[in-house]
């Protein structure tokens, strides 16, 4: 069982089940919402149980996905595709130790011009 929460604790959760290898997203939406890049893992929707959700709000970021965040502290917590049974969860919201290690960079074609990716992890354009 893994646990996590937003900065103020208004949104908290438990995850019972497998988590995907985490990735770092460089798309413009993740950069704008998080302030830089967004590292996340994913799990089956049914594995995620909200233990506090009074400040959870969802933003329809596109026709295909929505983003969950805390309306009090602003923490960007979740990303959910309309047609998938999985949900992405912010690595920064997970309580340590996570036992996970970053495995790749995605949407590097959209990355900001103010930084370079200098590690040896695989990079995917989209």
Contacts of 48 (CB under 8 A, 6+ apart): 13, 14, 15, 87, 89
Could you tell me the maximum CA-CA distance found in the chain, to the nearest angstrom? 40
Residue 8 burial (C-beta neighbours within 10 Å; 0-12, 13-18, 19+) = middle
SS3 114: coil
pLDDT for position 3:
98
SS3 7: coil
Domain 2-110: CATH architecture, name and number where available: Beta Complex (2.170)
pTM over 0.85? The answer is yes
Question: With contact defined as beta carbons under 8 Å apart, do 22 and 68 qualify?
Answer: no
The whole-angstrom separation of Cα 52 and Cα 37 is: 26
pLDDT for position 36:
96
pLDDT for position 91:
98
Question: Where do the structural domains in the chain lie, given as residue ranges?
Answer: 2-110
Question: With contact defined as beta carbons under 8 Å apart, do 30 and 38 qualify?
Answer: yes
SS3 104: strand
- What are 7-22's pLDDT values in tens digits? 999 999 999 999 999 9
Mean pLDDT, the chain cut into blocks of 10 residues (126 residues total): 98 97 97 96 98 98 96 98 97 97 98 97 97
pLDDT for position 87:
98
């Amino acid at each position: 069982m893994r646990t996590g929460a937003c900065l103020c604790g208004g949104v908290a959760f438990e995850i019972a089940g497998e988590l995907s290898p985490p990735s770092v997203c460089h798309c413009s939406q993740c950069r704008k919402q998080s302030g830089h890049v967004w590292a996340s893992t994913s799990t089956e929707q049914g594995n995620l149980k909200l233990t506090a959700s009074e400040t959870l709000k969802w933003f329809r970021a596109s026709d295909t996905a929505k983003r969950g965040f805390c309306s009090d502290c602003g923490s960007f917590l979740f990303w959910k595709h309309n047609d998938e049974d999985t949900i992405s969860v912010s690595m920064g919201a997970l309580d340590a130790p996570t036992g996970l290690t970053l495995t790749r960079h995605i949407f590097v074609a959209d990355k900001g011009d103010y930084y370079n990716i200098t590690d040896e992890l695989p990079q995917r354009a989209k």
